[in-house]
Amino acid sequence: MRLLIWLLVATLVIFHQDFWNWSNASLEYGIVPAGLAYHIWISLAASFVWLLACIFAWPEGVDEFDNDPGSSSQNGGDA
């Protein structure tokens, strides 16, 4: 699944460069320029890919905190 997420991220990076919309002056939905509408959709796609990454590729134990009172990470360094 992580490979699929990386492939989706790479695809989004490639499709983010929308050189085919640079000279497109048409309006989408009657009010939104074509380039802006494209970036709205790619932003929604990026949000969905990030959701997939959080659900399926988030490493275990990263969001747990160290509750040991003698830990140097909670004392601000050297104790």
Q: Where are the domains of the chain?
A: 2-18+25-56
Tokens 């802006």 belong to: 36
pLDDT at 35: 87
Burial class (CB in 10 A: 0-12, 13-18, 19+), 35: middle
Across 10-79, the runs of DSSP E, i.e. the strands, are: 27-28, 32-33
Over the stretch 20-51, which tens digit does the pLDDT of each residue have? 888 888 998 889 998 889 999 999 999 999 99
Whether 66 shows a pLDDT value over 80: the answer reads no
User: What is the spatial distance between Cα 35 and Cα 24, in angstroms, rounded to a whole number?
Assistant: 7
pLDDT at 58: 81
pLDDT at 59: 79
